[in-house]
Amino acid sequence: MTSTFAYEDLEVLCNRTFDEIVVGDLATIQRTLTAADLQLFAAMSGDIAAAQSDAESTQLHGVIAHGMWAAALISAVLGTRLPGPGTSYAGQTLKFHRPVRVGDTLTITVTVKLRQEMTRLVLLDCQCTNQDGEIVISGEATVIAPAERIERPRGTLPQVRVSLQHGDELVRVLQYVKPLGRIRVAVVHPCDEVSLSAALDARTAGVIEPVLIGPRARLEALAQKSGASLREVAIEDVPHSEAAAARGVELALKGEVEALMKGSLHTDELMAAVVKSALRTGRRMSHCFIMQTPAYPRPFIITDAAINIAPTLQDKADIIRNAIDLAHAFGIARPRVAILAAVETINPACRPRWTRRRSARWPTAARSPARSSTARSPSTTPCPRPPRAPRESFPKWPAQPISSWFPISKPATCSRSSSSTSAARRAPASSSARAFRSSSPAARIRARRVSHRAPLP
């Protein structure tokens, strides 16, 4: 007597012992090949040829799967259904007849051909067919069937995300800046393994020529501990982090370095030295960092997360301009801007929404010619606010009419005469105006909002 099993219908995985298996038993599963399957298999095996094949350039007229991806489905049938949990693989022979392309649905069937009583060996015929009924793979598998009954819940597999659809964008950025040549960078107090290794890795990548500023003995001991080499790396010997920040700024002012890189010192130590010097422009200083996450197809810039706690409207304009200039440096000609709130819920301590409305009415000439993918996030590390240097001209905003904010009732119609003004002054206030003056501050705020959303006719 033969039996047929469909893996998708099972809620509990239960094997078939050698004594229960008879010649002719078979089990089957179905699986559709997706692009994510190709990428995941390439990441696991290291064979990226199929995952990077171009559908127009390949001789097989389409992106095809690794042959062993389909073969792995045979193993899934043997290990989950027939014989099932407790099975040991002894051998496998396969013949590949047709390529498997993205979108193909395979049906994998294994059928028992032979049993050996003494060794519990089971020989199974294996076939994979596509949605058109064509044989894709054929072969035979030899397994050792379990001797004991095993039952366990089927469970769920973890979801795996492979972010290879658009390539490694950070690698693309490195490839973009590498032909520009190395820049000389002052690495301020890199006295931990992370900051020192980052500077040396950037040097190895051909991006920077670091100048390490810190206690020489401490840097050499750290490099020896981590197995790094400081040969041919410039070192400025200073006693502590405060002196390292001052020396880094001094080198930048003299033009001996083109950039400053923060090491293991605190942000406010470095920024205090920068603020005290003339190492700034007419714009508000701001902080940007580039982030790449698996759920987003490309890196994005986040600003300002470490310097400006409560920026004004003009400061926000500078923050956006700085982020746009950074995007231009990475070769992004027209970046996009997203201005986000610093918190997820309404907070009375946050600045009012009028800054958002006013920024939306900026004249075209006041906006930057390009936009950047930036986002506002809560500040984490305050720094001293430098005195404002001469800045670019900024547009002045027209004042809003009072009627758009306060629900003032219309005055009574009167003739144009010299006594009309005095008569209006002597007239009693309307009931709505009296109610507004006598209401609580919260009620007046709500009335202003309602009036702003729906102006009086």
Q: Indicate the CATH number for domain 166-279.
A: 3.40.50.10950
Best CA proximity match to 383, nearest among 245, 199, 257: 245
Query: Which pLDDT belongs to residue 200?
Result: 92
Residues forming CATH 3.10.129.10 domain(s) in the chain: 4-153
Query: Which pLDDT belongs to residue 360?
Result: 55
Cβ distance 257 to 251 under 8 Å? yes
Query: Which pLDDT belongs to residue 60?
Result: 41
Residues forming CATH 3.40.50.10950 domain(s) in the chain: 166-279
Query: Which pLDDT belongs to residue 365?
Result: 38
**Token output for 119:** 């060794």
**Token output for 410:** 């219309």
Sequential pLDDT tens for the chain (457 residues): 344 444 445 577 888 999 999 999 999 999 998 877 887 887 777 776 655 544 343 444 456 777 888 888 999 999 888 999 999 999 999 999 998 888 899 999 999 999 999 999 999 999 999 999 999 999 999 999 999 998 888 777 676 666 544 446 667 777 778 888 899 999 999 999 999 999 999 998 889 999 999 999 999 999 999 888 898 999 999 999 999 999 999 999 999 999 999 999 998 899 899 988 888 788 888 888 888 776 777 778 888 877 887 788 888 899 999 999 988 887 788 888 888 776 667 666 665 554 555 555 554 434 554 444 444 444 444 444 444 544 444 444 444 443 333 333 334 444 444 444 444 444 454 445 555 455 556 666 555 555 444 444 4
Cβ distance 335 to 373 under 8 Å? yes
Query: Which pLDDT belongs to residue 63?
Result: 61
Cβ distance 248 to 260 under 8 Å? yes
Cβ distance 272 to 243 under 8 Å? no
The upper half-sphere exposure of residue 158, i.e. CA atoms within 13 Å in the direction of its Cβ, equals 4
- Kindly report whether the peptide bond that precedes residue 304 is cis, defined as omega within 30 degrees of 0: yes
Q: Give CA separation, 377 vs 32, 123, 303, 341, in Å.
A: 42, 62, 7, 7
Give the pairing type, strands 183-188 and 208-214.
parallel
Query: Which pLDDT belongs to residue 357?
Result: 54
Give the pairing type, strands 259-262 and 234-237.
unpaired
**DSSP assignment of 86-125, as one string?**
T-EEEEEEEEE-S--BTT-EEEEEEEEEEEETTTTEEEEE
State the CATH architecture for 4-153. Answer: Roll (3.10)
Continuous segment of H or E residues that includes residue 247: helix 241-254
Q: Which residue has the tokens 């030295």?
A: 273
- Range 48-54, long-range pairs (CB < 8 A, 24+ positions): 51/164
Residues 6+ apart with CB under 8 A from 426: none
Cβ distance 218 to 265 under 8 Å? no
Query: Which pLDDT belongs to residue 361?
Result: 55
The upper half-sphere exposure of residue 140, i.e. CA atoms within 13 Å in the direction of its Cβ, equals 7
Cβ neighbours, 10 Å, residue 207 = 18
Beta pairing partners, 142: 91, 123
Q: How far apart are CA 273 and CA 388, in angstroms?
A: 16
